[in-house]
Amino acid sequence: MEKSPSSVESQYFQPYSEQSGQEGLRPESSDKEIELLKTQADTVVTQLQNINARISELQEEEISTPSNVEYVKEKNKDSDEIKSIRTVAVVHENECVGCGVCAEVCPEGAITIDDLAVIDIQKCTACGACMYECPKNAISLTDLKKVAL
């Protein structure tokens, strides 16, 4: 059974001649409403452009490779020079459920599961595989100096 349009829908979605039963100019209140709707539409377009620009910025940040990441696998594996690495993966313990997906996808074997994911920062190359595959978004890449060693 098809619904009949409400009186509000009919008022706003039918031409003025159908609403009033007569041809001619719209009342002044309709002109004001049209101007208001145009202004609101312009605002929505501007907001949408700003939102899309921010989404693009965030996506570029997530997929860009840090410029000075050194690969620990080959160099400085057992030394104190590990501090030269700028970026590492970090587990957000309040989000992690210990599912093990991150450990499975880590190409360096830098992640183990001990109730929650544990990242060996000496093995981590900040490739981001764990971050992208984590179903709970519990892993992020961050500057090493922000991590308590």
From residue 18, alpha-carbon distances to 22, 27, 35, 71, 111 in Å are 7, 14, 21, 72, 69
Give the pLDDT mean for 83-112.
87
Confidence grade of residue 142 (pLDDT, cut at 50, 70, 90): confident
User: Can you give the pLDDT at residue 108?
Assistant: 93
The matching CATH number, chosen from 3.40.470.10, 3.40.50.1110, 3.30.70.20, 3.40.50.300, for 80-146 is 3.30.70.20
Contacts with 26 (C-beta within 8 Å, 6 or more apart), sequence order: 16
pTM of the model: 0.43
Structure token pair of residue 78:
């057992």
Which of 46-50, 53-57, 144-148 shows the highest mean pLDDT?
A: 46-50
* 100/133 Cα distance (integer angstroms): 10
Domain ranges of the chain: 7-63, 80-146
